[in-house]
Structure 1
Amino acid sequence: MSVTHYKSSKGAVVIADMPLRYATNALNKLRRDEPERADEIEALAAHVDRLGAEEAAKAEQAEPDQPSMIGHNGGPQVEEPDAPAAKPPLTPWEAIKINFDDLLVEAGNWADGVEITTQDQADTVGRLRGMLQDACSAADNARTAEKKPLDDKVAEIQARYNEYIAPIKNRQPGKATKAIAALGNLLAAYLKKQDDERRERERAAAKAAAEAAAKALAAREEAKTTSDIAVMEDADVLLADAAALLKQAKSVSREKVQAGGGEGLRAQTLRTSYVVEPSGKEGAWNDALRHYMRTRPEAIRDLLLDLARSDVRNPGLRAQGIPGFIIREVKGV
């Protein structure tokens, strides 16, 4: 029974479905490394010969022999057949893709789990790896060239808008952004003053309400034991006054300090934010490190690992060693 499948490192492949280049590479590899697989070699060789003959026939049809000159003896004019339409040239991407696909087929034939045993094999693999590296460099250059018009257009659009809306942290903030910041600083000073005044009124109203409530409660206690109706009525009045003052204090606390707004515009208000800075006290950094080692140990470990990875690239620091870390030498191509 003839063999119908090629046993690759990734599983059985139907020989009849294999492209010519893939089949040729597989055949060469079997002949070189595993000549004992004679049945597969024979089947692959027949498949390669058949595909080669088909490609040769197609090439011959595409370029027929030129007919001899006729018509010189006065016979009828013979019209020459139309020349086949020329194929459009490959785009840079199409050429790069074809090159990649061919190289990857060859790489798949080598990178199948079988070790290199001879210098010739190592040289072949080395050349193949170099060709793939060159292909990657060429592809990256082509990618850069292909997207350059788009990058240039994006940069032009970005520059146009950045003139007005670039963030304030940029080296050149936008005109509108700077104006917003300046107006915000102007408003912040005024709104803070207004808010300070509101807080003072809130404190005064709360104090007055508390004092009135204390007086009203005292009068209420006195009214419980008095026989004077006027005293009772005075206690009720004081309680009502205290309730009114308390309501007024709550109203002051809810007052909004703002500017602008209306006609669909958002009102400008104060926004509370917080900044943190070193205290400057002796041992402050150690205190902070101990705090975060306790509360965020993963973040501290990641930071230390980043520092160690940076230091290990420095020959001097690597020679000194990095406390807490083991330095291993790793070889790679």
Structure 2
Amino acid sequence: MTDTALDERHAIGANNPPEETPVITPFDAHKANIEDLFLEAKNWVDGTPIESQEQADKVQELLRKTQEAYNAADKSRDEEKRPHDEAAKAVQDKYAPLIADNKSRKGVAVLAIEALRKVGTDWLKKLDAEREAEAQRQRDIAAKAIADAQALINEARDTGDLATREQAEVAIVEAKALDRNATRVENARPQARGYGRAMSLRDNWVITGFVPVPVMDANGQETGGVVEGETALLRHYWTVNKPALVAAALELARQDVLQGKRTLPGVVIINDRKAA
């Protein structure tokens, strides 16, 4: 071995492994290609219009190449995420018999929850109806007691009888106690407590349909006429939230135009042709 060879072996870093060649992933290739196309596209969309057929052909060529790059990257993305989608679907399918909750399928846990909630709701509604009836009964008793106490107070005031006045004061205290008891019954919400969070009734306001609405004159008096509920509702939101109602109508109009409608009341429809 020559002295030169020995010097090369003893040089700093001579024992390091060879440098690894960078791995170019499909994403790296798509990224480089699309970014290059984007830079080239910027040269053609600087605000200056096309001035010749040659330029138009160049733009068309760049458009098609960019579309090809887009489709290739989209396909690559689908291929790259397919194993993840399949793995996610496998997990979903495994758990679906237990906890699926959609229009096409319900897992057994969801079915059990819904059934238990139904029977629990029926029971709690029964208790709530009984509570309301008892609260009203207590209110009636308290109201009568207050009226009787007030009558005694009036009698004591008229006669000046101290015994009657004393009796009236006692009656007032008892009547107020009855009124507080009625309030307690009224505020007591039925519950079921067996484990964890208690089960109780919760307010759930829903719209169930439409009803006719009386027509009113300028003085707020009924005219005898009615409008259908749907019309009344639309008039209401036309007043309180016109932009949202107009946006909804425009979306319906756009769908009609896509389906072939060419005339609609109140809107301008044009043929805004674009290169494809």
TM-score range, shorter chain: 0.7 to 0.9
CA–CA distance in structure 1, aligned partners of residues 247 and 80 of structure 2:
38
Structure 2, unmatched stretches of 5+, are 1-17, 213-226
Superposed CA deviations along residues 140-191 of structure 1, whole A, max 9, x for unmatched, are 0001111111222222233334433333x43212211111110111011111
| More moved, 198-207 vs 234-243 | 234-243
The corresponding residue for 1:214 is: 147
CA–CA distance in structure 2, aligned partners of residues 285 and 149 of structure 1:
49
Q: Does 1:129 align with 2:60?
A: no
CA–CA distance in structure 2, aligned partners of residues 105 and 250 of structure 1:
75
The corresponding residue for 2:273 is: 331
**TM-score, normalised with respect to structure 1:** 0.68
CA–CA distance in structure 1, aligned partners of residues 128 and 144 of structure 2:
24
| More moved, 175-184 vs 100-109 | 100-109
CA RMSD of aligned residues (A): 2.2
Structure 1 residues 228 and 331 mapped into 2: Cα distance closer, same or farther (>3 Å)?
closer
CA–CA distance in structure 2, aligned partners of residues 105 and 238 of structure 1:
92
**TM-score, normalised with respect to structure 2:** 0.81
Structure 1, unmatched stretches of 5+, are 1-83
CA–CA distance in structure 2, aligned partners of residues 87 and 233 of structure 1:
105
Pick one of 173, 182, 195 that aligns with 1:249. 182
CA–CA distance in structure 1, aligned partners of residues 156 and 211 of structure 2:
60
Pick one of 106, 131, 136 that aligns with 1:203. 136
The corresponding residue for 1:299 is: 244
Alignment coverage as a number of residue pairs:
244
| More moved, 177-186 vs 243-252 | 243-252
Q: Does 1:94 align with 2:31?
A: no
CA–CA distance in structure 2, aligned partners of residues 277 and 299 of structure 1:
22
CA–CA distance in structure 2, aligned partners of residues 298 and 269 of structure 1:
39
Equivalent position SS for 2:198? strand
Superposed CA deviations along residues 121-154 of structure 1, whole A, max 9, x for unmatched, are 2212211110000100001000111111122222
Equivalent position SS for 2:31? helix
Superposed CA deviations along residues 173-232 of structure 1, whole A, max 9, x for unmatched, are 221111111011101111111111111110010110010111111111211243544433
The corresponding residue for 1:290 is: 235
Q: Percent identity?
A: 37
Greater radius of gyration (CA): 1
Amino acid at match of 1:277: T
Superposed CA deviations along residues 257-294 of structure 1, whole A, max 9, x for unmatched, are 000255xx100001121221332546222222111111
CA–CA distance in structure 2, aligned partners of residues 278 and 225 of structure 1:
58
CA–CA distance in structure 2, aligned partners of residues 215 and 147 of structure 1:
81
Structure 1 residues 103 and 238 mapped into 2: Cα distance closer, same or farther (>3 Å)?
closer
Equivalent position SS for 1:180? helix
